[in-house]
Amino acid sequence: MTALAYNSLHHASPQAADQIFLIVQHWIVSHAPAGLQSLLAILLSVVAIVGGFGLLFAITTILERKGLGRIQNRYGPNRVGFFGSLQPIADAIKSLTKEDIVPQTADKLVHLLAPILLVLAAFSVYAVLPVGRNMVLVNLDAGVLFFFAIGSVTEVAVFMAGWSSRNKYSLLGAMRAIAQMISYEVPLILSSLTVIMATGSLSTVTIVEKQAGFSRILPHWFLFTPWGFAGFVLFMIAATAESNRSPFDLPEGESEIIAGYYIEYSGFKFALFFLGEYLGMFAISGLAITLFLGGWNAPLPFLTWVPSYLWFFAKLLTLIVAFIWVRGTLPRLRMDQLMNFAWKFMLPMALLNLITAAVWHFMPSGPVRWLVSIVLVVVPYTLLGRNQMHKSHLEKRVYRFAE
């Protein structure tokens, strides 16, 4: 690694740009005593992750507000800095200087721990996301399993917040949140199971490496297979539900129970909840990119000179933009409709997707494989979709007029 690094530096090749962070890390670590070198390396990576995704959080808040603004025919924030770019700093100052109000009858310890636990869990899952070539904090053999396990801790944090606030609205919000998050874990994991089956490994690094390469101009990402496309869509819907984003943001249903489980939080703790929610969104998008969108792989053969981490963040930004776009358009689902959708539509689709993935894997490659897989995806989708609409007697109506 050292020789490659120094060679790249001297030749200023694309590899240098690609591995620049590793080179810098290696250089810093080489100044430390031998016993502490691995600890220092890990610490540097952790700082880089926290700093990098924290910065992304700040950028996302301003992107979301301006994006929603433009969708709604108005400017977003544009007073602080050029085009509002310094707005996150203003928001940070505000949240740090606001009074921290804790209800008198609240359970103070749990009330304090809930946002901290949320942020801890949200940050921990970044350990297994490969952000670039050779740039993963820990290359676990069971990376995806680790991700889902730690990611579920956020649900505990949400319930802690709702319960400890001693407020009927937050209790309602917490109950809704738990029900929603638990029901959507199942389609989430089932849709990622297809990728695990296809690659035969739970390690995120292996999954990304299996998606390298191109056939003519089409990359080998799992998105460009029928089962991968269906899996990706299911995964993203479940991801939206897991991060409590619109249209699944009933737990924080702003217009009914005002803020749901974080109604009694103010000041910095509120900002931590925000941070935790957004970090969760980035993490699960990151996993979607790793599983379906080829991780840090370039989309076209002649673009491989662009550094790998730039591709990862470009894809991440695309997914964030998609989240914002969906938020600006759709109303939210009611609780029972949400659960109905999870158990009666997404779960059967995810299970049938497993069969499609298996069929794809064992058939010889060629147009027949494509045709069969597409049929295996589209037919259940149409049938289940029609079932969903008819069950609730949803129809297009025609109105009569009287004179």
Partner 1 sequence: MSTSMEASTPAAHQGFADATMIDHESDLLQISLGPHHPSTHGVFRMDVVLDGERVVKLKPVFGYLHRNHEKIAESTTYLASIPYTDRLDYMCSLSNNWAYALSVEKLAGLQVPERAEYIRVIAAELTRLQNHASTIGFLMQEMGASGTPLMYAFREREKILDLFEALTGSRMMCNYMRFGGCRVDLPAGWLDQARKTVDEYPRFLDEFESLLASNEILLARTQGVGVLPPKLAIQGGVTGPILRASGVNYDIRKVDRYGIYERFDFKVPLGEHGDVYDRYMIRMLEMRESLKILDQALHQITPGPIIDPKAKIRGFRPKPGEAYGRIESPKGELGFYLISDGTPNPYRYRVRPPSLINLTVLEDMCLGSSLADTVVIFGTIDIVLGEVDR
Partner 2 sequence: MLGEGIAKGLIETARNFLGSYVNKDRLTTVQYPEQRLPQAEATRDFPFLVYDGEDWQAGLRCVGCQICEKECPPKCIFIEKSTDKKPDAVGKPQFYPAVFNIDISVCMSCQICVEVCPFDAIKMDTAFELSTVDRFGGLLWDKARLAKPNQHYHHVHPTEAAEVDGRLAEERAKADAKAKAAAEAKTSAPPPAAPPAAPPANSGVSSTS
Task: Write out the binding residues for partner 1, residues 188-247 only, by CB under 8 A.
Answer: 246-247
Instruction: Tell how far CA 172 is from the center of its chain.
Output: 25
- Find the shortest distance in angstroms from Cβ 20 to partner 2: 34
Query: What are 219's strand-pairing partners?
Result: 214
> Which of partner 2, partner 1, none interacts with 115 (beta carbon under 5 to 8 A by kind)?
none
Kindly identify the residues of this chain, within the stretch 315-344, that bind partner 2 according to CB under 8 A: 325-326, 328-330
Shortest distance (Å) from residue 395 CB to partner 1: 8
Contact 354, 190 (CB under 8 A): yes
Q: Which of partner 2, partner 1, none sits in contact with 401, Cβ below 5 to 8 A by type?
A: partner 1
Termini Cα distance of the chain: 84
Q: Of 356-395, which residues contact partner 1 (CB under 8 A)? A: 389, 392-395
Residue 15 or 165 having the CB closest to partner 1: 165
DSSP characters over 261-310: GGTT--THHHHHHHHHHHHHHHHHHHHHHHHHS-TT--SSGGGTTS-HHH
Other CB atoms closer than 10 Å to residue 189's CB: what's the count? 16
- Written as six digits, the tokens of 118 are 């949320």
Residue 202 contact among partner 1, partner 2, none, beta carbon within 5 to 8 Å by kind: none
Binding of residue 31 to partner 1 (CB under 8 A): no
**Are the CB atoms for 223 and 229 separated by under 8 Å?**
yes
> x/- binding map, residues 313-332, to partner 1, per CB under 8 A?
--------------xxxxxx
State which of residues 11, 70, 108, 168 lies at the interface with partner 2 (CB under 8 A): 70
Total residues contacting partner 1 by CB under 8 A comes to 43
Q: How many CB atoms lie within 10 A of CB 398?
A: 5
- The site for partner 2 (CB under 8 A) is made up of 67, 70-75, 325-326, 328-330, 345, 381-382, 384-386, 388-389
